[in-house]
Chains A and B, each alone.
Chain A
């Protein structure tokens, strides 16, 4: 299977006033063509930093100190910003959490969509408007022609997110990165967007990376899931495998802490303690101090690396070494 995106041993740090924060450590993952990967993690896991690093939009105190990101055979980290600019928006596009802050409030929808189209293709104005209308219809925006003439603040959250999706697919990207695209939306709208993204992937033959804190959302869209905690990937495998048989204690604890009607009357499984401080990473396994299944040597030595098990599963836990 062709590897469309391959992240190898990526290390990212943030230089803060209080010291060096190692937010991503030795991250390795792949996404093939027409594959969808879900990245699940809570606050502090580093999932957003990962998506920003791939897109090359890591904010200033952040720095990629080692590793590589291969996209279609090219190492993105070695490209000039001009070349990266050509890829960003066209071959590799992004959908962010809040469409209201991603869309410029001063320009009409039409102008913003045309901007993307004209930057990455040779369409003239008229052709670009036509294509924009077509795209809006593909993402099921009703009355596409009139929506083009509206300003972002005149759109509802769900509508605005559809516009973002339309812009993201406008240049037929090979890979779309969606960073919590439905977190700010109502649950009925979220369902529509999830279904839309599945259709989009099929129609444009794109691969997808969907980042979320909600396992239930990711499992509806993605065939593969990577679970992140404290700056590393703790488990990665097919959605089916991970849901039916989660191996890493963190994944298990995460799934157990989800409320549901079947757990009425009993306390929910929660994870004691806090996410460790990235400024001062302890020895051994990063999840050690909160793990219910740890053994004596989990807090010592080098942290367990991702170990490959059968059928493509990988877990970072001493129990599987």
Chain B
């Protein structure tokens, strides 16, 4: 056994990262919440006792009870099931939008940043243009053209959210272009396509991942918001924003559960995603490295 203990210590990056993440209590809470909701979404049909769109005129606007954990809405539909199915809707829309906008933003941002010059200028002005339009307006315009519904919703949010990722990816690429190891790789003969894929992309991924996780929460909020104003998801599909919209008028008359439970679901999911995103950012922070 030699005394070269520095070489002896074989701490792989994975276990070190896990340690940092687990030591941050809030991120663990966030990760747990997100995991629970994903589980709910997947196991939806098994967990929901009553089909979410089953109308029952005998139990309209019932307050929470043992039969209906979250109460019923104005059509007698079980709110508990609706909220569970709402998780499926929101999370699947969220995943689709986030995954595609991340891929698109990553591709465009990285290439634009690496090539630089006029191409970069042109692409970035285009991105600026897109970002100038609020996502709600874009959604409304698209809804007018294509009609409302989930497809429109997804496309509208995709158009609005890839730009954020593109900006981050481009910024990281610009600074990585100057880094020592990119220069060194050029020195050994690396082509730009090789450098982009093997050296720049792996380093651009972490901040993009963090940003995507945080934007997931935004997507859920936007989905709820757009459905609330009637553009997004159409009834009778269960969606949290839509449920709130339908129950809005009953707050005054005392049927608080119609707005409370979906609202709570939105709050918890978004908070969980934000905490998870913060935790991921801490792991990827180079200052945490030993």
Interface set of A (CB-CB < 8 Å, partner B): 16-18, 273-277, 279-280, 282, 289
Q: Is the CB of B290 within 8 A of A274?
A: no
Interface residues on B, range: 10 to 19
- Taking the closest CB of chain A, its distance from the CB of B97, in whole angstroms, is 37
If A16-B290, A17-B290, A18-B11 touch, does A277 touch B6 (CB 8 Å cutoff)? yes
Q: Is the CB of B290 within 8 A of A273?
A: no
In the bound complex, residues from chain B placing their C-beta under 8 Å from that of A274 are 4, 6-7
In the bound complex, residues from chain B placing their C-beta under 8 Å from that of A277 are 5-6, 8-9
B66 within 8 A of A: no
In the bound complex, residues from chain B placing their C-beta under 8 Å from that of A282 are 3
In the bound complex, residues from chain B placing their C-beta under 8 Å from that of A273 are 3-4
Interface set of B (CB-CB < 8 Å, partner A): 3-9, 11, 16, 19-20, 290
Q: Is the CB of B3 within 8 A of A18?
A: no
If A17-B19, A17-B290 touch, does A289 touch B9 (CB 8 Å cutoff)? no
Cα of A18 to Cα of B16 in the assembled complex, Å: 9
Which of A17, A275, A276, A279 is close to B16, meaning CB atoms less than 8 Å apart?
A17
Cα of A235 to Cα of B16 in the assembled complex, Å: 37
- Taking the closest CB of chain B, its distance from the CB of A21, in whole angstroms, is 10
In the bound complex, residues from chain A placing their C-beta under 8 Å from that of B16 are 17
Cα of A273 to Cα of B5 in the assembled complex, Å: 10
In the bound complex, residues from chain B placing their C-beta under 8 Å from that of A276 are 3, 5
In the bound complex, residues from chain A placing their C-beta under 8 Å from that of B7 are 274
In the bound complex, residues from chain B placing their C-beta under 8 Å from that of A289 are 3
Cα of A282 to Cα of B5 in the assembled complex, Å: 10
In the bound complex, residues from chain A placing their C-beta under 8 Å from that of B11 are 18
Q: Taking CB as reference atom, which chain B residue is nearest A17?
A: B19
Beyond A274-B4, A276-B3, A277-B8: 18 further Cβ-contacts under 8 Å? A16-B290, A17-B16, A17-B20, A17-B290, A18-B9, A18-B11, A18-B290, A273-B3, A273-B4, A274-B6, A275-B6, A276-B5, A277-B6, A277-B9, A279-B5, A279-B9, A280-B5, A282-B3
Cα of A93 to Cα of B6 in the assembled complex, Å: 35
